Amino acid sequence: PSWGPRLVPARGRKTRHDPPAKSKASRLKLPPPVDPEELFVVTERYRQHRLVLGALRAEFRAEVLQKKREALLSQEGSAELVEEHQRLMAWNEEENARQRARREERLRKEEEEQKRQKLQAAESRASKMEAVLKEKEKEILQLQEEAKSFITPENLEARIEECLDNPRNYNFAIDKEGRIVRRTVLS
Amino acid sequence: MAMKGRFPIRRTLQYLSQGDVVFKSSVKVMTVNYNSAGELSEGARKFVFFNIPQIQYKNPWVQIMLFRNMTPSPFLRFYLDNGEQVLVDVEDKTNKEITEHIKKILGKSKETLEKEERERRKLSHPANFGPKKYHLRECICEVEGQIPCPAVVPLPKEMRGKYKAAAKDEA
């Protein structure tokens, strides 16, 4: 406490560390006298008062909370909020529908793609088979043609005669330009 | 500093507080069904990896459940407190699109959030002094430019009460 002119310390001359005076040796310090009935009545009255006040406080607190909760609920359950919610749900449904459409589109495209691929594969296989068959046929034809000039036991004699009659000269020279020179004569 | 996981930035408070999806109070449970493989689930996977921590941070009372490889296509499902279920198809969407979508249908709008922020600010007055838990300052000596705390630096004699009282007594 600030020691202003109003607040004067009760100690006066001595500090708290000085011993008390001899005249005060027989002093008996007693607490203030108490009337038990009065005390009982006063405490009882105080108790009832505080009880009532506490109850009132709790009551008001509960009321304020209730009001706040009611305000929140009414604000949440209001018509415009519900309508807003419906609108957003409808939009969400639309979005889902759009997504569904996109997905179906995609699946359809994939199916088509697969079908196309299968067809193409079948076609290529067919064409390959055809090519192979053609090749085989060509070979057969070629063989047939060659077979005409084969030497069989029937025309063995004739062919031998033919070879002997027409001697072939394999002696020739070739220069760097590719001109062939046949000078040697078969004897 | 501990850097755990593949993208430790997801664990920073700054990243988490940047999430802007605050659900309405009617949303109680959010369920995400997605696949660990497949191009169509890519957006959902990114959403689960990057955006769900932000959402959970902003909505600590919403239960979020993840289901892996249970359905052929990914989707989100919200369970509201009036029993309504909201289905959101997220196939072939990026994670940003997914967050925008759910912010639009079930998130609190910016006005609502601002209103709530204003209400919260109204409760505490910044000019009041008191315990640090409830107020900004306890004493004016904490403010820069004001007189320092007399516990640290004694006040000049002219400002002290005992000097002023003694002077008045004298006069």
Nearest-neighbour CA in chain A from B74: distance (Å): 12
Contact B32, B76 (CB under 8 A): yes
Helices (H), A12-78: 36-76
The whole-angstrom separation of Cα A173 and Cα B8 is 86
> What are residue B137's DSSP bridge partners?
B129
Contact B87, B75 (CB under 8 A): yes
Burial class (CB in 10 A: 0-12, 13-18, 19+), B71: exposed
Question: What pLDDT is attached to residue A128?
Answer: 97
Contact B80, B86 (CB under 8 A): yes
Chain B residues with CB under 8 Å of A4 CB are 161, 165
The whole-angstrom separation of Cα B30 and Cα B23 is 10
Nearest CA in chain B to A85: B105
Closest CA to B52 of B101, B19, B85: B19
Question: What is the per-residue DSSP string for B106-160?
Answer: HBPPHHHHHHHHHHHHHHS-TT-B--TTTSSBSSGGGSTTSPPPTTTSPPPGGG-
Q: What is the pLDDT of residues A19-46, one digit of tens each?
A: 999 999 999 999 999 999 999 999 999 9
Nearest-neighbour CA in chain A from B89: distance (Å): 6
* A149 pLDDT higher than 90: no
Nearest-neighbour CA in chain B from A22: distance (Å): 34
> Of A37-51, A116-130, B34-48, B157-171, which range is least confident?
B157-171
* A3 pLDDT higher than 60: no
* Long-range contacts of B68-72, Cβ-Cβ distance < 8 Å, separation of 24 or more: B68/B34, B68/B35, B68/B36, B69/B35, B69/B36, B70/B33, B71/B33, B71/B35, B72/B35
The whole-angstrom separation of Cα A106 and Cα A112 is 10
Higher-confidence position of A43 and A74: A43
Chain B residues with CB under 8 Å of A5 CB are 165, 168-169
B102 membership: H or E segment, kind and range: helix B95-106
Out of A3, A4, A96, closest to residue B87 by CB: A96
Question: pLDDT grade, residue A1 (50/70/90)?
Answer: low
Contacts of B140 (CB under 8 A, 6+ apart): B129, B146, B147
> Dihedrals φ, ψ of A37, to 5°?
-65, -45
Q: What is the pLDDT of residues B132-141, one digit of tens each?
A: 999 999 999 9
B76 membership: H or E segment, kind and range: strand B75-80
Question: What pLDDT is attached to residue A11?
Answer: 84
Burial class (CB in 10 A: 0-12, 13-18, 19+), B171: exposed
Q: What is the pLDDT of residues B43-64, one digit of tens each?
A: 999 999 999 999 999 999 999 9
* B16 pLDDT higher than 60: yes
Nearest CA in chain B to A90: B105
Question: What pLDDT is attached to residue A44?
Answer: 98
Q: What is the pTM of this model?
A: 0.64
What is the ipTM metric for this complex?
Answer: 0.74
Question: pLDDT grade, residue B171 (50/70/90)?
Answer: confident
Chain centre to alpha carbon of residue B145: 33
Choose from A85, A89, A98, A103 for mutation: most chain B CBs within 10 A. Answer: A85
Closest CA to B29 of B58, B61, B57, B6: B61
- The pair of three-digit structure tokens given for residue A78, joined into one six-digit string: 């209001």
* Residue that is written with structure tokens 């609108």 in the block: A87
> What are residue B79's DSSP bridge partners?
B29, B85
The residue extents of the domains of chain B are 8-109, 125-170
- The pair of three-digit structure tokens given for residue B97, joined into one six-digit string: 């699109």
Architecture of domain B8-109: 3-Layer(aba) Sandwich (3.40)
Residues from B contacting A (CB-CB < 8 Å) are 25-26, 73, 86-89, 91-93, 101, 104-106, 161-162, 165, 168-169
Residue pairs spanning A and B at CB distance below 8 A: 41
Question: pLDDT grade, residue A160 (50/70/90)?
Answer: very high
- The pair of three-digit structure tokens given for residue B61, joined into one six-digit string: 């009372």
Nearest-neighbour CA in chain B from A17: distance (Å): 23
